[in-house]
Structure 1
Amino acid sequence: MHTLSQHINSNKITIINRSNLEGRLDPLYYNSDLTKFNSGIYKSIPLRSVVLSFKSGIGAGKQDQAIDENGIIQIRPTNIDENGFLKFDKNVYLPIEKKIDRLEVGDVLFNNTNSQELVGKTAILKEEKELSYSNHITVLKPKRDVLLSEYLWIILNLYQKNKIFYAVCTNWNNQSGVGIELLKSLRIPLPPLESQKQIVEVYQSAYEQQKKIEEESEALLTSIDGYLLDKLGISLPEKDNSLKNRIFITQLRQVTGGRFDPKLYDKTTTSLKQAIKETDLKQFKVEKLRTFIVQSLAGDWGIEHNEENYSQEYEKCLVIRATEFDNDFNLKLDNSRVKFRLIKKDKISKIDIQENDLLIEKSGGSPDQPVGRIAILTKDILHNNKISYSNFIHKIRINTSILNPEYLFCYLKTIHNIKLTESMQSQTNGIRNLIMQNYFNQDIVVPILPNGDFDLEKQYEIANHIQSLRAKAMLLQQEAKNILDNVKQQVEQMILGNAY
């Protein structure tokens, strides 16, 4: 038996018998938690022994997709959340007549290609729904007499959580993959069916608790736009997507010298703008956003953070990108995917980041999401990191003597949610770009005092109520997350038994 020198850190060394090599020499492959799961009280078997079929879907570029929502949703990695549940907030559709495999109830959907952190997340189809799947999804159909679909779904997600797929995947060009042959050879502990059912029941009970709490959180978040619009006396027009309503006529003088873009002049956009203008002018002022702005600055992506690039003229910053914008709350900066870059000190001095500055997403978006999301720089955010922002983000500072920054943050977030921001953008090469002139010219409704001055106290009251709703919703989401995290640990113990 080989022994290491006492001067060598054993945590940085992996020793394996030659007879145990499986055709790969990368140490991560042999240093994962896979051994832990396969050394428990239940027999360990390769997936090929208990799964009837492994099949990946097809790729679909823009030319292969259906127009709008007239098609079948193709399940992609973005349709699987971090806990292995299907979500349908950002969808790609394929033509109904296209000859493609459809999913069946009980199918287990394994994400075979993603970043190294996310590869291996797995979903299950629990109800009848006409769906297809992409080449980045491998569908597993278990032998139901020995392996429950729900148990397979749970164990694969436990593997993902324990970074087993992180360790065993193959990496190339910033992507990581788990091929079908590797998946077939992957060993899992296989309890008797009765034990599998008990594990699934425990997990299902926790999931139902979690879902109920998440629904409470979602209800709070959904109420925010209605509350704000009601406080401002704005009544949204009823949505009418009929063919008759989608056909409209506009005056030539309105188009001349401007954008030849139907979204800017359609009935939905003009009705939304009119609803804002028709608020009670005895209680509110309607002013252009630009009248409140005292500073407006573009961002900088900087350079890669490494020893070669580092010099006294640069400073390391957490650079906020569009991916850090959160649709429900503010900024997501507490994960491992944030980017630190080197920004020139004179640029940092110029952009002059301060508390209550607002960040606007000016490039990005998606087919289902307009560009133009908004964020606010709070004291906590600035305390935790040296902050900068990318060239896809724009920063504004407003005159706080007449307008509360948190009120404006809440207002602009609602304007984005009702999709009025969609009329302020253009699209090139699949990327949506905010037309800053149009954005700065949008109407802002602000409460006023009887003498006509801006009512800062009322602004604060509205903003404070909205932020309290968001805080309650966030606490509920954390409670729901804790329920799932705890049941994952409980289920892991049930699978490992006395071996862990």
Structure 2
Amino acid sequence: MSSITHNIDEKRIFIINRSEIKDRLDPIYFKTVHDLEIVARTSFKVEKLSDIAEMKRGRFGHRPRNEPKLYGGKYPFIQTGDVVRASIEGGKIKYSQTLNELGLQTSRLFEEIVMVITIAANIGDTAILDYPACFPDSLIGIKPKDDNTLNLYYLNVYFKYLKNYLNNLAPQAAQKNINYQQLGPTPIVIPPIEIQEKIVKIYYDAFNNKQQKEKEAKALIENIDTYLLNELEISLLFRDNSISNRIFEVNLSNLSGDRFDAFSFYNSLLKVEGGKYKNIKLRELADIKKGQSITSDKVVTGDYPVIAGGKISPYSHNEFNYEGKTITVSASGAYSGYVWYHNEPIFASDCCVIKAKDENRITMDYLSEILKLKQKEIYGLQQGAGQPHVYPSDLVKLNIPLPPVEIQNRITENIFELRKKSIQLEKEAELVLNDAKNNIEKMILG
């Protein structure tokens, strides 16, 4: 009997039988199988995937793959990204490409219902393909050999617990991928078919519940703009985007002292202004300054997010240059004009910084809501083709509806409650699915 000396950490090594080593002598692989708790602890029988399911790899042999003459027919052509999205969203696989008869000759049409699994780059994402379609060799179609022993939809749910296992199967390389030989020995726990069916129902009921709560959360956020427009009694102008309405006239007097370009006037219909309260120029209500330039090589990682030209902070810094309630507007790049409200210390870099001059006249909370309401209008201020910019000189001209402060406070309190309810629904959505996954794991363990 083999034994381990006392000076070796038993948690970092394990023993396997020589008979278990068939195709690869790979410690990571065997440790992964050894640590797969859902298999190690189950009371049900365990079979290799290759013994209980048929596997067929997709095909697309033509090079280059983007040859236009192969596309635009009646045969759906599924891509890896389509399966990843369906796996995350828990729904039907949606496609954006089709093959014609010529494209079909270089591919393979899957006509039966199969579970499709990704085996390259994104490894281990699965979804059910329930209509005839083609896909490339980065995907494998799988279906049970015996439907009375293995439920296809159960297999799809079961693979949600194997993603880390499958990732660890892939040889360490620049782009990970797995093949038949690595996927075939995957251990599949097989409860009685009636338990499999219960697991499928629990999972899909939970996913539907999750999606419903997420839909309600999204609706609450979308209703914020409607609520704000109604409170301010602002009616948005309708923009007819037909060809005939893209030609328009502007009086010469309207060009004086302002931007001399068609987009400036065309985007005037995006403006959110007017209503029952007096409109005041932003320059009278707030100070607008440029952020402080900083390059990545000057950044010292710290606790304060650097706010630059995008929708997320690219890195953190060990210093901040603004604290308290602060509004930033991205100054350059594809997302120039993006409005972001902060209530923490930040390092403002490639952005414009907006601070209320007098919060007894306009609160920062209210001003941030108005600027978010005007997001499309602010995006319309972009100038430049290759690298768009939004400048403080244009922001200062924005018209801000200005109700009394007590009404501003009431409005922002109501919006805060809407956001709070939305966040709660999103948390509930995640909890519903996590509870279902925990219950399913217990059922698989037996």
On whether the aligned pair clears a TM of 0.5, the verdict is: yes
1:302 is aligned with what amino acid?
S
RMSD: 4.7
The aligned residue for residue 394 of structure 1 is 351
1:208 aligns with 2:214: no
1:138 aligns with 2:87: no
**Pairwise CA distance, 1:469:** 0.6
The aligned residue for residue 158 of structure 2 is 155
Matches within 5 A, 1:175-214: 176-179=176-179, 181-214=181-214
The aligned residue for residue 42 of structure 1 is 45
Structure 2 Cα separation of the partners of residues 294 and 34 of structure 1 = 57
Could you say what secondary structure the match of 1:293 adopts? strand
**Pairwise CA distance, 1:198:** 1.8
User: TM-score scaled to structure 2, two decimals?
Assistant: 0.75
Structure 2 Cα separation of the partners of residues 95 and 140 of structure 1 = 18
Structure 1 Cα separation of the partners of residues 443 and 336 of structure 2 = 46
Could you say what secondary structure the match of 2:45 adopts? coil
**Pairwise CA distance, 1:48:** 7.3
Could you say what secondary structure the match of 1:237 adopts? coil
Structure 2 Cα separation of the partners of residues 93 and 234 of structure 1 = 39
Structure 2 Cα separation of the partners of residues 442 and 302 of structure 1 = 33
Could you say what secondary structure the match of 2:36 adopts? helix
1:155 is aligned with what amino acid?
Y
The aligned residue for residue 117 of structure 2 is 110
Could you say what secondary structure the match of 2:229 adopts? helix
**Pairwise CA distance, 1:356:** 1.5
Q: Which of residues 356, 362, 370 is equivalent to 1:411?
A: 370
The aligned residue for residue 377 of structure 1 is 342
Could you say what secondary structure the match of 2:124 adopts? coil
For the Cα contact (< 8 Å) 1:250–1:265, is it kept in 2?
Answer: no
For the Cα contact (< 8 Å) 1:113–1:177, is it kept in 2?
Answer: yes
For the Cα contact (< 8 Å) 1:108–1:153, is it kept in 2?
Answer: yes
1:31 aligns with 2:32: yes
Aligned residues: percent identity? 18
For residues 61-84 of structure 1, the C-alpha deviation after alignment (integer angstroms, 9 at most, x for no partner) is 9997xxxxxxx8975538745963
The aligned residue for residue 446 of structure 1 is 401
The aligned residue for residue 221 of structure 1 is 221
Structure 2 Cα separation of the partners of residues 438 and 104 of structure 1 = 60
The aligned residue for residue 496 of structure 1 is 445
Structure 2 vs 1, CA of residues 31 and 463 (structure 1 numbering), >3 Å: closer, same or farther? Answer: same
The aligned residue for residue 355 of structure 1 is 324
For the Cα contact (< 8 Å) 1:318–1:339, is it kept in 2?
Answer: no
For the Cα contact (< 8 Å) 1:37–1:188, is it kept in 2?
Answer: no
1:316 aligns with 2:277: no
Q: Which of residues 436, 439, 444 is equivalent to 1:487?
A: 436
Q: Which of residues 409, 413, 419 is equivalent to 1:460?
A: 409
For residues 182-207 of structure 1, the C-alpha deviation after alignment (integer angstroms, 9 at most, x for no partner) is 33443322344433222111212222
Structure 2 vs 1, CA of residues 218 and 5 (structure 1 numbering), >3 Å: closer, same or farther? Answer: same
Structure 2 vs 1, CA of residues 120 and 322 (structure 1 numbering), >3 Å: closer, same or farther? Answer: farther
Matches within 5 A, 1:23-102: 23=24, 25=26, 27=28, 30-31=31-32, 35-39=36-40, 40=42, 41-47=44-50, 49-55=52-58, 77=81, 80=84, 84-85=88-89, 93-94=96-97, 99=103
Structure 2 vs 1, CA of residues 224 and 79 (structure 1 numbering), >3 Å: closer, same or farther? Answer: farther
Structure 1 Cα separation of the partners of residues 228 and 294 of structure 2 = 34
For the Cα contact (< 8 Å) 2:280–2:402, is it kept in 1?
Answer: no
Structure 2 Cα separation of the partners of residues 176 and 34 of structure 1 = 21
Structure 2 unaligned runs (5+)? 69-75
For residues 425-472 of structure 1, the C-alpha deviation after alignment (integer angstroms, 9 at most, x for no partner) is 6554xxx74433576256242323xxxxxx333323222221211111
Structure 2 Cα separation of the partners of residues 485 and 222 of structure 1 = 26
Could you say what secondary structure the match of 1:435 adopts? coil
Could you say what secondary structure the match of 2:269 adopts? helix
Structure 2 vs 1, CA of residues 5 and 404 (structure 1 numbering), >3 Å: closer, same or farther? Answer: farther
For the Cα contact (< 8 Å) 1:112–1:178, is it kept in 2?
Answer: yes
1:456 is aligned with what amino acid?
V
**Pairwise CA distance, 1:210:** 2.3
For the Cα contact (< 8 Å) 2:120–2:176, is it kept in 1?
Answer: yes
Structure 2 Cα separation of the partners of residues 272 and 164 of structure 1 = 50
The aligned residue for residue 451 of structure 1 is none
Matches within 5 A, 1:223-242: 223-238=223-238, 240-242=240-242
**Pairwise CA distance, 1:33:** 6.9
Structure 1 unaligned runs (5+)? 65-71, 306-313, 326-330, 332-337, 449-454
The aligned residue for residue 73 of structure 2 is none
Higher CA-based Rg: 2
Structure 2 vs 1, CA of residues 200 and 377 (structure 1 numbering), >3 Å: closer, same or farther? Answer: same
The aligned residue for residue 270 of structure 2 is 272
Structure 2 Cα separation of the partners of residues 256 and 360 of structure 1 = 24
Structure 2 vs 1, CA of residues 203 and 298 (structure 1 numbering), >3 Å: closer, same or farther? Answer: same
Structure 1 Cα separation of the partners of residues 26 and 168 of structure 2 = 12
